Amino acid sequence: MCYAIPGKVVTIDKKIATVEYFGEAKQAINEFDDLKVGDYIYAQGGYVIKQIPEAEALSILATWKETFFQLHELDLRLSRMDLDKTGIDKKLAVILDKAAEDLPLKEADLLHLLNLEGDKELEYLFKIANFLRQKHLGNSCCVHGIIEFSNYCSQGCAYCGISTHNKGIKRYRMTKQEIIDTAYEAIEKYGFKALVLQSGEDPHYSVDDLADIIREIKNRSAVLIFISFGEVGLAGLKKLYGAGARGLLMRFETTNPELFAKLHPGRTIKTRLAHLEEAFKLGYLIITGGLVGLPGQTKEDILKDILLTKKMNTEMYTFGPFLPHPNTPLKDAPPPPVRDVLKTLAVARIADAKNAKIVVTTGFETLHPKAREEGLVAGANSVMLNVTPAKYSQNYTIYPDRAHSGESLQEQIDETLGILRGLGRAPTDLGVTNA
């Protein structure tokens, strides 16, 4: 998915192609030697991923055209700032007026937003976040797929249900061929254009095995691949980039160094951040973020997490709630209130209004059945669907009772498209930079 709309190449300058979509110009990195001005392409995450014959592109564009403008109009209507400011605290009004005008906010202002509690104030915050999302990024909503191919993990993260703490879980590994076939079906049958390959830190698969899998998937289909295998080492990142991976999904979880150390025995925030920095330097698109509501975590910590995510040139922000798993040391810690997650999404949008793709996580959907509807109108503009075969994904229990477990992929797609249509969002990814 991310049913990318075909775009027409209007200029090529070294590795950068400028691509036009219904009159809007975007830029994408091009790695095809034979790409010419006038060609039609699909772009994902700012990369040209596929050339498409003109006749096919024109026919897809013809079916999209009307819907594209209809969705756009609906989104515009829903994101209008019809604000009733009566009774709103003056300080808040000043901060949010500044945000709406794209004026920079101080850290103290962002912290004030994270500390809001009143329903009316929160409604105001979410509306500004939604307004900014629409103003800068339009109605495009990324829909990536994720394949969770192994729930074996060598790590003892204190919150995680597939960590070494959980002795009661049925472990599984997909074979190389199963992973490749699952990706093929997601791309060719269901139309996904960006896939995340994820597993626990499972030494069973060598970096060479993982590179083979990536190479094979990319040989068969045009797709943007994000890797999410935990800390693979800097040499590993290089090798996997060489094999064709172009994105890394790895949360730093929390920037609070003491909390990080307590939750991740044997690991340091320094090494985690070094992976993210090195990956960015190598050319990976970065998806990162943290957990909201960890025991001992403060609103100041969450603000630092948001600001660090911004500093790391992140392509997509992933912030989800901590959810207690009964077979882990944090089994008795409560999850955060829903509004803390929504506030995090909204403040992330305000802090990085023009660039951020912000995902509504499955964790948030597990905490709150209306997470997508509410998250997407509080600053978020991305979702991820689980394309793991159901017999496996039911055992990928990072937390209990995961949302959508037991649903078929088609059911998930239909439900997602219904929600997006209702909000005037198009499941597309039109590239990174406005030309």
Q: How far is the CB of 390 from ligand 5AD (least distance, A)?
A: 19
- The radius of gyration computed from the CA coordinates of the chain, to the nearest angstrom, equals 21
Using CB under 6 A, which of the segments 21-29, 45-53, 133-141, 154-162 binds ligand 5AD? Answer: 154-162
Whole-number Å distance between alpha carbons of 422 and 169 = 38
**Cβ contact 53:41 at 8 Å:** no
Using CB under 6 A, which of the segments 63-71, 73-81, 111-119, 155-163 binds ligand 5AD? Answer: 155-163
42/159 with CB nearer ligand 5AD: 159
Contacting ligand 5AD within 278-317 (CB under 6 A): 291
Whole-number Å distance between alpha carbons of 274 and 378 = 31
Whole-number Å distance between alpha carbons of 116 and 69 = 36
363 is a site residue for ligand 5AD (CB under 6 A): yes
| Window 84-123: contact mask with ligand 5AD (x via CB under 6 A) | ----------------------------------------
Q: How far is the CB of 113 from ligand 5AD (least distance, A)?
A: 23
Amino acid in the structure at residue 200? G
Q: How far is the CB of 330 from ligand 5AD (least distance, A)?
A: 7
Q: Which SS3 state, helix, strand or coil, does residue 171 take?
A: coil
71/195 with CB nearer ligand 5AD: 195
With CA atoms as reference, report the closest residue to 308 among 46, 107, 101, 103. 107
Whole-number Å distance between alpha carbons of 295 and 254 = 11
Whole-number Å distance between alpha carbons of 47 and 29 = 5
| Window 399-418: contact mask with ligand 5AD (x via CB under 6 A) | x-------------------
Q: How far, CA to CA in Å, does 96 sit from each of 88, 99, 105, 133, 358?
A: 11, 5, 9, 14, 20
Number of residues that bind ligand 5AD (CB under 6 A): 13
Contacting ligand 5AD within 67-86 (CB under 6 A): none
Of 398, 413, 420, 430, the residue at the interface with ligand 5AD (CB under 6 A) is 398
325 is a site residue for ligand 5AD (CB under 6 A): yes
Look at the block and give the residue holding tokens 């105001």.
124
Q: Which tokens sit at 110? A: 């962002």
264 is a site residue for ligand 5AD (CB under 6 A): no
Using CB under 6 A, which of the segments 136-144, 153-161, 264-272, 296-304 binds ligand 5AD? Answer: 153-161
Using CB under 6 A, which of the segments 8-16, 113-121, 319-327, 343-351 binds ligand 5AD? Answer: 319-327
226 is a site residue for ligand 5AD (CB under 6 A): no
State CA 118 to chain mean position distance: 28
- Show Cβ contacts of residue 141 under 8 Å, excluding neighbours closer than 6 positions: 376, 381, 382, 383, 420, 425, 426, 427, 428
Q: How far is the CB of 193 from ligand 5AD (least distance, A)?
A: 22
| Window 244-263: contact mask with ligand 5AD (x via CB under 6 A) | -------x-x----------
Half-sphere exposure (Cβ direction) of 221: Cα atoms closer than 13 Å: 22
Using CB under 6 A, which of the segments 87-95, 183-191, 321-329, 338-346 binds ligand 5AD? Answer: 321-329
Q: How far is the CB of 245 from ligand 5AD (least distance, A)?
A: 17
CA distance from start to end of the chain = 24
Whole-number Å distance between alpha carbons of 215 and 244 = 6
Whole-number Å distance between alpha carbons of 42 and 4 = 6
275 is a site residue for ligand 5AD (CB under 6 A): no
Whole-number Å distance between alpha carbons of 209 and 181 = 15
Of 42, 47, 192, 322, the residue at the interface with ligand 5AD (CB under 6 A) is 322
Q: Which residues bind ligand 5AD (CB under 6 A)?
A: 159-161, 251, 253, 291, 320, 322-323, 325, 363, 398-399
